Structure 1
Amino acid sequence: MGSLSTANVEFCLDVFKEMNNSNVGDNIFFSPLSLLYALSMILLGARGNSADQMQKVLHFNHIVESLKPEFKNSPQCSQAGRIHSELGVLFSQINQPDSNYTLSIANKLYGTETMAFHEGKSVIVEMMHQTGTFKLAFIKEPKMLVLELPYVNNKLNMIILLPKGTTNLEQVEKQLNVRTFHRWTSSANMLEREVEVHLPRFKLEVKYELNSLLKSLGMTDLFNYGKADLSGMSPATGLYLSKVIHKSYLDVSEEGTEAAGATGDSISVKRLPIRARFMANRPFLFFIRHVHSNMILFCGKLASP
């Protein structure tokens, strides 16, 4: 799953940056894993340049390069089938019938607090409070806190990147890439300690049409009537992809978290007081991750509650 996990993170951050550029100041929420799985089904029927573009955009080309020679030199359909099969196994692991993925953030609602989510503008939102033992890291450049909140049975966790001091979220986003993400969120750089967590109660329900985004990333032929090659899906000519629609829903409340998706750095752990305080009263990034596989299930940005 290592190569697949890397592809997942690379694709996730590519999509996030494109969405961020197109939706300045807006909340963002999507499921990179759901998108990968849906697009991998189309990849099964893609051939020629259409398949090459898809593999590159989905970062599956790195997986192909890591395959044994007999698989690396196999037809595109076999390579895509192998990757799709791995994703299917992963989905089965995540969607086990007995899994409980409710993220318990707070036992009580502690009134409201002011959150400065816009330049020169503050809004009153409901804040949740919980004190417990969590993994926390202090990143020196850009200055921020990284908090890991576990779900039930530690099968999933939510990772929050919260800017601190004079650092704003734009500075964090500029430095965000696969390498920095792995370093900032590495368990080796996080200290398990007692933390007083204050998190806003919010809901996100977002729908995206991703044609332009995928074209910007390099997946162009698939949307072109004359260039799309989906001959592995049907012998009919003129078959092409008309739309890619993605919907995601997230509810973070005192009852827990529900999520659904269709479709030279310097790091140090500061010696903080006995109890650290994590006050998420400004824009932040968050990721919901499957612990066993390191796959990012959901990625989001809370710019305004």
Structure 2
Amino acid sequence: MDSLSTANVEFCLDMFKELSNNTVGDNIFFSPLSLLYALSMILLGARGNTAEQMEKVLHFNHVAELLQPEFKDSAECSQTGRVHSALGALFRQINQPDSTSTLSAANRLYGTQAIAFHQGKSVIVDMMYQTGTFKLAIIQEPQMQVLELPYAGDKLSMIILLPAGSAALEQIEKQLNVKMFYTWTSSSNMVERDVEVHLPRFRLEINYELNSLLKSLGMTDVFNQIKADLSGISSAKGLYLSKVLHKSYVDVNEEGTVAAAATGDNLVVKRLPIRTQFMANHPFLFFIKHTGTNTILFCGKLASP
């Protein structure tokens, strides 16, 4: 499912950049996988130019031919049908019956202290800290630390992109694309180290109406009552997509990181004598992913706790 996970990352970063441009200085949090699945159901009934626009925005236009044989031979023989079948299989893989999570992530970070968040602003937040062995990358251009915190028996993880030195978060956002994301988080860069992690408590609950954002990405016809072609859903005239509403929630505290719903296992780590400090006391980007499929479940920016 590599092609599908790549489409997921591409769509995620497109969405993030549009949200970041439209909400300068604000927190961001959304689930690209949830949006992909919801919009793919509309795509099943889309035809003509409406379908082409949606496939391009969702990065499905080059996915179907790369899917594994079982999806090519699916009863739903259309390209969109194969992609939708693969998405369904992906959801089943993430939500396996024996899984300790349901689109959720959990971990415990012990200890708290108050600290200033974001230099130049008088914001004091409660910070949590923990020492342990984690995968950490030190990137020189732009300067940043990339930390991976494993959750739920290593099935999920949170990746944090934290500016370092004189670098600003805007520099990371500017260079962020699929190629750079894969490079920064590659196994050649992410090395296991003994790390002292300082992470703020934060809770985000954000609602978006995404019509204008999706239009700006190129998905225009489906929102137009005259141009929309959803004849695969109904032969009735004038059928179109009126609104795309998205709500997501994340809570990071001593009890763990909860995205959407449940709580997972505690993290057990070994201690080593030399520690690297990871001090998240200024704005950062974070991604919660399913490690088995490299699928990004949630994406966010913490600008103000």
User: What is the TM-score when the length of structure 2 is the normalising length?
Assistant: 0.90
Deviation at 1:65, TM superposition (A): 4.6
* Matching residue of 2:20: 20
| SS of corresponding position for 1:229 | coil
Indicate whether 1:184 and 2:184 are aligned.
yes
* Matching residue of 2:174: 174
Deviation at 1:209, TM superposition (A): 0.2
Indicate whether 1:114 and 2:105 are aligned.
no
| SS of corresponding position for 1:130 | strand
Q: Of 82, 102, 107, which residue of structure 2 is paired with 1:104?
A: 107
2:248 alignment partner AA: S
Q: Which moved more, 1:91-100 or 1:214-223?
A: 91-100
Matches of 1:7 and 1:68 in 2, distance apart?
15
* Matching residue of 2:267: none
* Matching residue of 2:154: 154
Matches of 1:65 and 1:51 in 2, distance apart?
17
Deviation at 1:94, TM superposition (A): 1.4
Deviation at 1:67, TM superposition (A): 5.7
Matches of 1:21 and 1:130 in 2, distance apart?
34
Deviation at 1:17, TM superposition (A): 0.3
Matches of 1:153 and 1:67 in 2, distance apart?
28
Matches of 2:251 and 2:98 in 1, distance apart?
21
* Matching residue of 1:35: 35
1:26 alignment partner AA: D
Which one has a larger percent strand, Structure 1 or Structure 2?
A: 1
Deviation at 1:114, TM superposition (A): 1.4
* Matching residue of 2:253: 253
Preserved CA contact (<8 Å) 1:105 1:128 = no
Preserved CA contact (<8 Å) 2:47 2:229 = yes
Matches of 1:105 and 1:77 in 2, distance apart?
46
Matches of 1:151 and 1:177 in 2, distance apart?
25
Identity of aligned residues (%): 72
**1:71-118 Cα distance to aligned partner (Å, 9 max, x none):** 99x9x9711111111111111121234422442141x3322111126x
Preserved CA contact (<8 Å) 1:207 1:248 = yes
2:154 alignment partner AA: N
2:106 alignment partner AA: L
Matches of 1:195 and 1:9 in 2, distance apart?
27
* Matching residue of 2:143: 143
Deviation at 1:190, TM superposition (A): 1.1
Aligned length: 289
Q: 1:59 to 1:53 in 2, by over 3 A?
A: same
* Matching residue of 1:225: 225
Matches of 1:68 and 1:96 in 2, distance apart?
20
Unaligned runs of 5+ in 1: 262-272
Preserved CA contact (<8 Å) 1:8 1:36 = yes
* Matching residue of 2:3: 3
Preserved CA contact (<8 Å) 2:289 2:295 = yes
- What root-mean-square deviation, in Å, do the aligned CA atoms of Structure 1 and Structure 2 show? 2.1
Indicate whether 1:298 and 2:298 are aligned.
yes
1:60 alignment partner AA: F
Q: 1:169 to 1:105 in 2, by over 3 A?
A: farther
2:9 alignment partner AA: V
**1:149-192 Cα distance to aligned partner (Å, 9 max, x none):** 00021000000000001100000000000000000011221110
Deviation at 1:58, TM superposition (A): 0.3
* Matching residue of 1:266: none
| SS of corresponding position for 1:165 | coil
Matches of 1:67 and 1:278 in 2, distance apart?
39
Deviation at 1:275, TM superposition (A): 0.7
Deviation at 1:68, TM superposition (A): 9.0
| SS of corresponding position for 1:50 | helix
| SS of corresponding position for 1:89 | helix
